[in-house]
Amino acid sequence: MLRKNALKKIFVSSLSCLIILSIYMIPGIENKIKYSDRIVYKTLNDSYCIYALNSDNFLIRYPVKIDEKSKEGIIRTLIFKSKYYVFPTGIKNSIGRNLKIEDISFNDNVAIINVNRMIDGKELESFIYSIFSIKNIDGIKLLINGKNINDIDSSFPKIFYREFGINKKYNIESRNDISKVILYYKFNINNNSYIVPVTKYVNDKRNKIDIVIDKLSYNYIYEDNLITTIKNINIGDYKIINDVLYIDLDDFKVNKKDLYLLNYSLFSNSSVRKIIYSYKKRTIFNVKRSKFS
């Protein structure tokens, strides 16, 4: 009897472990974490990201865990997750499952990736920006069945860099004084928040820092449920000295997290290495570019 009961307990314990293991092997389950606003304030240093489509057809940044160590392994896993990841309701995969990576090589910090078919639009943006979440990859040379995408369609560059743009919006009325700025918003869904980068083309000849502050400060709701987090923050003068951006605030009671999207936007549109916020010439806090790259 004792032997029978012992065998029964071992069987139940083993079955439980098997069920738990099976659940965690389902794609996407390992990352069903309630990130809430942590997603917005999480830097790319903490996780890799894939870009998925929300209900408004914007690509949103979705953090994923990857255990691979090699750059090739990480790239293959990122694209695999972009195709097969099981997202929460309201978010969908942005890369077709019939896209296949044939081979990958590297030339310094440029990844050379050969795929089996042509890609463009949101699928292309998702592909390259998911890979750009990997440190030390500065460019992507995309080959279609061994042929550079530029040779197939000359509107694409021979090598993609981060300046290529994502979620592109053209708010221009003429060909004069066109500026390109990358603005970071957040998108709320299912009680979670996700970062949404938007590349905007505008008729504005001002300094890009002026444009960023203006667009994020005075356009609290951009469109399509995209939100910035600095609507109640009054930003005063700024200056750049030795690659450091000094910004004066009109209130010292500022939550550092509320400036996260502004910081990301400022670093993406300038070459400054640090941002220092101050109130009445007294430093409140500072942030480094390394935390946002």
pTM greater than 0.85: no
Domain membership flag for residue 179 = no
Q: Classify 75 as helix, strand or coil.
A: helix
Q: Give the pLDDT of the chain (293 residues) as one tens digit per residue.
A: 434 444 444 444 454 444 444 443 444 433 433 333 444 444 444 579 999 999 999 999 999 999 999 999 999 999 999 999 999 999 999 999 999 999 999 999 999 999 999 999 999 999 999 999 998 899 999 999 999 999 999 999 999 999 999 999 998 999 999 999 999 998 988 888 899 999 999 999 999 999 998 888 765 555 567 887 676 677 888 999 999 999 998 877 777 888 888 999 999 999 999 999 999 889 998 999 988 76
For residues 191 and 160, state if they share a domain: no
285 burial (CB, 10 Å; 0-12 / 13-18 / 19+) is exposed
Nearest to 276 by CA among 262, 290, 266, 286: 286
Strands 244-249 and 235-241: antiparallel
Domain membership flag for residue 84 = yes
For residues 191 and 154, state if they share a domain: no
For residues 212 and 142, state if they share a domain: no
Domain membership flag for residue 182 = no
Domain membership flag for residue 267 = yes
| Alpha-carbon gap, residue 229 to 221, rounded angstroms | 10
Res 30: pLDDT: 35
For residues 192 and 268, state if they share a domain: yes
| Alpha-carbon gap, residue 5 to 12, rounded angstroms | 11
CB contact at 8 A, 92 and 53:
yes
For residues 242 and 159, state if they share a domain: no
Domain membership flag for residue 125 = yes
CB contact at 8 A, 213 and 228:
no
For residues 155 and 249, state if they share a domain: no
Res 44: pLDDT: 42
For residues 158 and 34, state if they share a domain: yes
For residues 160 and 213, state if they share a domain: no
Domain membership flag for residue 234 = yes
For residues 108 and 230, state if they share a domain: no
Domain membership flag for residue 71 = yes
For residues 105 and 214, state if they share a domain: no
151 secondary structure, DSSP code: H
Residues whose CB is less than 8 angstroms from the CB of residue 147 and which lie 6 or more positions away in sequence, other chains included: none
Domain membership flag for residue 223 = yes
Instruction: State how many domains the chain has.
Output: 2
For residues 255 and 133, state if they share a domain: no
| Phi-psi group of 14: left, alpha or beta (phi > 0 → left; psi -120 to 50 → alpha; rest → beta) | alpha
For residues 152 and 225, state if they share a domain: no
* Domain enclosing residue 265, as ranges: 187-196+207-292
